[in-house]
Every structure is written in C-alpha cells, then in structure tokens.
Structure 1
Amino acid sequence: MRHYFIFLIAAVFCFTSTSAQTSCSAYYPMVDGASFQYTNYDKKGKEDGKLSYKVTNVNGSGDNISATMVMDMEDKKGNMYSSEYDITCNGNVVKVDFKSLMNEQMLAQMGDVEMDISGTDVEWPNNLGVGQELPDGNVNVKMKMSGVMNMNMNVETINRKVEKKESVTTPAGTFDCFVIYSETKSKMMMANQTFPSRVWLAEGVGMVKQESYNKKGNLMSTSVLTQFSK
C-alpha cells in the first residue's frame, strides 16, 4: 500500500495537465464529464498499465473555476486503484490541491492508516513560452500505519522549464506541444532519489505524452494519451 501511495503522488505530479480548454484554463480540464486515458509503457516498450481521468464537480465561471479530478489506475497485473484531487483556476494560474488527496476513498484502499499532508500546490500558468521557468512544487506526507513503523515522505518537483515546441503523434491524434522538463525528487526513510522527466503539453488537450528517466538519463517509462473526449 505504501508503494501505491508513492505511485499516486508521482502520478499527480506528472499528469496534472490533462485538459479541456476554458476561458479560465488553457491546460486544465474544467468541463464536466471530460475524460482522458493514458497507457503506460516500461523501458522496453511493453504495456505497463493504464491511467484514466474524469472531470467532475465543476463550479464557478470566468476566471474562477474549481473542479475535481477522479483518477482510476490499473497496473499490469490488473489491480485497480482510485483516488481524486481538487484543482482550482484563478485568473492565469491553475493549482493542484495536494491536501485533497487525503480523502476517505484513498485512505480506505490503504487500510488502517493516519495521514497528514502538507506542501506547496503545483502551478501551471496559461501562458507558456520556450525558455520559461515554472514554480517548484512539493508535498510532505506523514503516515502512521497499523502494524508497521511510521513513515515520512517528501516529494518535490523542481527545475521545471519549458524547453521547446514539438509535434507529437499518439493513438489519440497529432498535437503541437510544449515540452516541459522537470525533476521529481523523493525522500523516504534513508532513500533519496531524483528522476528527470519530460511532459508534452498541448493547448486545449493537456498532457499528450510523458517520459521518465533514471539519473543517467536513460528512458525508464513512457505514458501516452490513447483516448479522450470532452
């Protein structure tokens, strides 16, 4: 279950940009019922699970909109996990509320656990440009699990930068994208790890592709948009 939660946090950092365009958000899903499916592949190109999103509970109008992202994750063994988190749009910036990850549905899937989450919300501005640096984000998790030792975990997304523009083709179509580089830095127990990644982001669609690398820069996993509707 601890592994599941770490995967969930990483998924939110990497996949918070799926979207249907509105006047408030160019890269976030602020339309009720919009849905997206991503297929994950390992470093050898073999299918390694799926990740689906659906937008619900859209409220507000103009430059102030909030919504809930419902996530369903399926690993390569067919195990299913679900969670949700809140996003808000205020003017030109969209934020992800990590505290909302600590919901009853997620805790129930982890068993007997008490959890405290804090940190800095991840921000995505509507106006992206090549060379632009984006704000860092982080989430701190303190868990008390029945029958095991307490665990503290910190996950940061750092060195976020818009590298270039590039056209990308996936099973869902061909898209003109911004390529955004970042590094995910995790600290848990005595282990510290940093994983670089790149996200291909298309206006009005959101994340089209994502690649994760090891510390040597070798490709470790890929996710691509395979279905979407809005």
Structure 2
Amino acid sequence: MYKTTFHTKKKVMRHLLLIAVLWTACNNTASTNKPGKQLTAAITEDKPDAGPAACNKLIFFEPGAEIITKSYDGAGKEISCQFTKIVSVKNEGGMTVAYAEASDTTRANNHVSNMKYSYKCDGKTIYFDMASMLRAHAQDPNATIEASMVEYPIAVSAGQTLPDATGTMSFERKGKKTNMKYRYKERKVDGKEKVTTPAGSWDCYKISNQVDVEVDFPGMSDKAKQMMQTMTNQMKSTGITWFSPDFGIVKFELFQNAKLVSRTEIISVKR
C-alpha cells in the first residue's frame, strides 16, 4: 500500500507539473518514428486579423510553426518527444488565440498520444489552457477537470511574483470518486539567464515555483491519508521555467527535494 501510494503520487506530481508548461513528460518516451507523423489535420495559414502585436512574435502564436521538444529523466535519459503544430491563430474578442495539435510519443512502448489545446495572449500576458491539456491525458474520458489558466507576463522583470495556478481532476472508479488537486505556488522571477538548447540560444527569465499535489483515492483509510500527508510534508517539489519574452517557454526542470527529476527543452523550431 505504501509503495503503490508513493509511486502514484510521485508520477502524478511530475505529470501535472510538466503539463503546466505545455509539454507532457511520461514515464517512458521518444520513438524511432519521425515526430508528428501521426498528425493528419492540415495547417491553416490564417493570420490573426487583429490582436495585440506583442503576441505575434511568440513562436506559439505563429500559424504553421512546428516545435519539437524532448524530455529527459534526472540522469539525462530521453523519456519523451512531442511534436506540436500551430494549426491556426485567430483574434477572438480582442484576445489572440492559437490552436495547436500535438503528438506525444513514449520510448518504452512507442505509444502516441494526440492532443489539441490552445494558448491565449492579450498583449501583456500569455495564458496556457491547462484544463484542455490535462483532459487530453486523462485515462478516463469522462473525467471532470477544472483548472485556472497559467500566466506568463511578456513584460517580465526580475523579482516579479506571478499568480498561483490551481486545478482539480475528478473521476469515478466503481462508483467512488477520486480527486487529484494541485497548486503551483510561490511563482517568482529569479533573474535573467542565457539558455542554449539544440534549437538555439535565448535570453530568458528564470521562473521558479513550488507545487503541492493532493490525491484522494477511493476507499483510502484514515491511516493511509495520514501516511499520504506525511509524504507530502517530506516531499518538496519545485520547478524552474526559462521563459523568453521574444519567443516563449524554452526549457523546464522539475526537482524533488532539490534532486533533478526531469528536464524538458525545445530541440527544433520551424517557422
């Protein structure tokens, strides 16, 4: 019971954190197939007919842009590869909205997950649609998901504090409801750093955060709940995101008790 609970909590923490920054890290990864080969939707080249100009320079708001990211475990072993296409970018109510399709491939079983989600920008802030990304990875298609938007200001500055992000995924097993609650908190801009990946080099802002995850399993006894709380208190999960105001998110790292658990970065960009 203890091992199962610990493994599940650790997996959920890592999964939810990586989704928050747009890329999904699985416990397995990249295939020998060419990334994105499974996508069939055509790219539409419609430029936004209006909308904040500051949004248009970001890679996630360029129609037809193709982005490849890879995730690695703490030892540097590749665990996943995601290919993303920006299908269309439109102006909706003064907000620039980018619609993306992605295929995420896992190495261990060569499994491909296809996803659809969106990003929004009002000229000052980028908003990541966490609920739609969580829904794409929910094992239960009937899962109920409620989540706030994850915000990244374009005019970011060192020392700035960013809003928390929260969400809940609920689903039923044999008539019993399971809830996974998370909170990304203490999001702070630590300063500027130059980041180099296989895709290039960027002047980025380093943004740190802590994450709390609470999992309530069906039939969990009071003793099990107490054990879960003890593990939560002992397991400190933190994340670091490198964000370029002229590009978008470039790199992300997840730590547990100050130990690197996973790293995700952009390895290829095609405009």
Please say which structure displays the higher CA radius of gyration: 2
Instruction: Using the aligned pairs only, state the percent identity.
Output: 22
* Counterparts of 2:85 and 2:14, CA distance in 1: 19
Matched, 1:186 2:216: no
Letter of the 2:95 counterpart: N
Q: What does residue 261 of structure 2 align with?
A: 220
* Counterparts of 1:82 and 1:194, CA distance in 2: 31
Q: What does residue 19 of structure 1 align with?
A: none
Matched, 1:100 2:169: no
Aligned residue for 1:169, secondary structure, equals strand
What RMSD over aligned residues (CA atoms) do the two structures have, in Å?
Answer: 2.9
Q: 1:110 to 1:218 in 2, by over 3 A?
A: closer
* Counterparts of 2:160 and 2:184, CA distance in 1: 16
Matched, 1:115 2:143: yes
Output aligned runs, 1:195-214, within 5 Å: 195-214=237-256
* Counterparts of 1:61 and 1:152, CA distance in 2: 33
* Counterparts of 1:71 and 1:143, CA distance in 2: 24
Q: 1:139 to 1:5 in 2, by over 3 A?
A: same
Output aligned runs, 1:112-151, within 5 Å: 113-145=141-173, 147=174, 149-151=176-178
* Counterparts of 2:192 and 2:71, CA distance in 1: 23
Q: Which range moves more in the overlay, 3-12 or 76-85?
A: 3-12
Taking structure 2 as the reference length, the TM-score comes to 0.70
Q: What does residue 81 of structure 2 align with?
A: 50
Contact 2:99 2:118 in 1 (8 A): yes
Q: What does residue 67 of structure 1 align with?
A: 98
Q: What does residue 53 of structure 2 align with?
A: 23
Higher helix fraction (1 or 2): 2
Contact 2:22 2:128 in 1 (8 A): no
Letter of the 2:240 counterpart: R
1:87 to 119, 129, 138: 119
Letter of the 1:186 counterpart: V
* Counterparts of 2:264 and 2:129, CA distance in 1: 23
Q: 1:27 to 1:194 in 2, by over 3 A?
A: farther
Contact 1:124 1:134 in 2 (8 A): yes
Tell me by how many angstroms 1:179 deviates. 0.7
Number of residue pairs matched by the alignment = 218
* Counterparts of 1:8 and 1:57, CA distance in 2: 27
Tell me by how many angstroms 1:96 deviates. 2.5
Aligned residue for 2:142, secondary structure, equals strand
Q: Name structure 2 gaps, 5 residues minimum.
A: 1-7, 24-51, 217-224
Q: Which range moves more in the overlay, 5-14 or 127-136?
A: 5-14
Tell me by how many angstroms 1:209 deviates. 1.6
Contact 1:195 1:213 in 2 (8 A): yes
* Counterparts of 2:13 and 2:237, CA distance in 1: 13
Aligned residue for 2:75, secondary structure, equals coil
1:18-54, Cα deviation, whole Å (9 max, x unpaired): xxxx714265611211121111111111111112222
Q: Name structure 1 gaps, 5 residues minimum.
A: 17-21
Q: 1:91 to 1:117 in 2, by over 3 A?
A: same
